């Protein structure tokens, strides 16, 4: 089970690295005025979303369910963590929606909005890690 836990952690970090970086790319993309720059950001964002974030998310969930089934862990902290994981999945899908807007040249959000949006993933990650390590309830 330690291998499964290690892989769960590796893919969690992979997934959240993408969740930290993609909205930052959106900040820069929203600030870009030239077409070649916008096209370059679209390629970077698409590759990050489909090549790193989404496989990381899927494998995080697969190994997380495997751990849960193998250890049979319960507790209030786990319920809170699972709620936050569902929110992280929602955030992931929100990133996809924003990606679509940029692909269609239909973004209406400011770089400042993306800066605030970017902080959401950091908060989710921090609380999830604290719940897993500290198990406060």
56-111 confidence digits (pLDDT tens): 999 999 999 999 999 887 889 999 999 999 999 999 999 999 999 999 999 999 99
Distance separating alpha carbons of residues 103 and 68, to the nearest angstrom: 38
Overall number of domains in the chain: 1
pTM of the model: 0.94
Angle between helices 54-71 and 76-103 (to 10 degrees): 170
Arithmetic mean of pLDDT, 8-20: 98
Structural domain of residue 21, as residue ranges?
Answer: 2-134
pLDDT value for 76: 93
């Amino acid at each position: 089970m330690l291998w499964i836990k290690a892989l769960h952690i590796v893919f969690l970090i992979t997934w959240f690295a993408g969740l930290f970086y993609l909205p930052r790319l959106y900040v820069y993309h929203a600030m870009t005025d030239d077409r070649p720059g916008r096209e370059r950001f679209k390629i970077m964002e698409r590759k990050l979303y489909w090549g790193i974030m989404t496989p990381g998310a899927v494998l995080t969930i697969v190994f997380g369910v495997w751990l849960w089934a193998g250890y049979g862990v319960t507790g209030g902290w786990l319920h809170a963590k699972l709620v936050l994981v569902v929110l992280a999945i929602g955030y992931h899908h929100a990133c996809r929606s924003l990606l679509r807007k940029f692909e269609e040249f239909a973004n209406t959000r400011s770089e400042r909005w993306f800066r605030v949006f970017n902080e959401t993933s950091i908060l989710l990650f921090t609380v999830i890690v604290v719940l897993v390590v500290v198990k406060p309830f």
